[in-house]
Amino acid sequence: MPAYKRILLKLSGEALMGDDAYGINRATIVRMVREVQEVTKLGCEVAVVIGGGNIFRGVAGGSVGMDRATADYMGMLATVMNSLALADTMRQEGMTARVMSAIAIDQVVEPYVRPKALQYLEEGKVVVFAAGTGNPFFTTDTAAALRGAEIGAEVVLKATKVDGVYTADPKKDPTATRYSKISFDEAISRNLQVLDATAFALCRDQKLPIKVFSIFKEGALKRVVMGEDEGTLVHV
């Protein structure tokens, strides 16, 4: 039995790059989709928020003199591209996925409408939330916290390159150990970066736990959903 009935999975755009320097790596996206498929087979309802960092980030545009809000809209459009690629790969793998966008772009994807998203999830479809929160100056981490709270997900799963939150940077400090669990308050007092500050505050206010784990570790997503000791759980 899965530990969660409904999850919000946050994938970074970079996770789609694989070993490439930019864009979407085919083998990587297929592998990731298969990991998601495994958990849907367990009967877990899955919503996904995907970033856009493999294509464009607002800060990058801002740093070369672009108007920041315009650059952020470009970043949000990048997440739409990733969402389309993800849903298309899901379809090819025999899953049913729906993309819902926070920005009106009706000829391409349907708009985000909460009751409809809930209906899709109840029908066992994977819902991919595109265009972040729809607002500049936010991130897809915040979109994950927001949508997670809106759909009543039991947990936000933050997929990263590292398999959890560590006492120190494991690349620099060989004695660093992984927290199996940590409270929101302790994560703050130890100054641990779990999600960006806005996203973290939203999860904390809504008492929505966060699980940080590595999407590059085979089967990790399934172990997380089964409630095994994988990654780090940030709890109330």
Expressed in angstroms, the distance from the first to the final Cα of the chain is: 23
Would you say 10 is a known binding-site residue? yes
> Which range of residues in 30-38, 54-62, 150-158, 215-223 is near ligand UDP by CB under 6 A?
54-62
User: Binder to ligand UDP among 4, 28, 52, 129 (CB under 6 A)?
Assistant: 52
User: Binder to ligand UDP among 2, 14, 149, 150 (CB under 6 A)?
Assistant: 14
Using a 10 angstrom Cβ sphere, with 0-12 exposed, 13-18 middle and 19 or more buried, the burial of residue 215 is buried
Starting at the edge strand found earlier in the chain, the sheet holding 210-214 runs: 110-111, 97-101, 126-130, 45-50, 6-11, 155-160, 210-214, 232-235, 181-183
Distance CA 10, CA 212 (A): 10
Would you say 89 is a known binding-site residue? no
Provide, rounded to whole angstroms, the least separation between the CB of residue 132 and ligand UDP: 2
* H/E run at residue 84: helix 68-92
Q: Summarize the chain as % helix, strand, coil (round to 5).
A: 40, 20, 40
> Which range of residues in 19-27, 74-82, 151-159, 161-169 is near ligand UDP by CB under 6 A?
74-82
Distance CA 60, CA 82 (A): 18
183 binds ligand UDP (CB under 6 A): no
Would you say 13 is a known binding-site residue? yes
**Residue number, nearest CB to ligand UDP:** 51
Provide, rounded to whole angstroms, the least separation between the CB of residue 42 and ligand UDP: 25
83 binds ligand UDP (CB under 6 A): no
**What is the footprint of ligand UDP within residues 206-235 (CB under 6 A)?**
none
User: Binder to ligand UDP among 8, 95, 103, 132 (CB under 6 A)?
Assistant: 132
User: Binder to ligand UDP among 76, 128, 145, 153 (CB under 6 A)?
Assistant: 76
Distance CA 87, CA 99 (A): 7
> Which range of residues in 38-46, 52-60, 151-159, 197-205 is near ligand UDP by CB under 6 A?
52-60
**CA-derived radius of gyration, the chain:** 17
Lookup: tokens for 103: 């920005």
CB 163, CB 230: distance < 8 Å: yes
**CA pseudo-torsion sign 146, 79, 51, 95:** positive
**What is the footprint of ligand UDP within residues 134-153 (CB under 6 A)?**
135-136, 138-143
Distance CA 129, CA 30 (A): 19
36 binds ligand UDP (CB under 6 A): no
Provide, rounded to whole angstroms, the least separation between the CB of residue 191 and ligand UDP: 21
Would you say 139 is a known binding-site residue? yes
Binding residues for ligand UDP, per CB under 6 A? 12-14, 51-53, 57-59, 72, 75-76, 78-79, 132-133, 135-136, 138-143
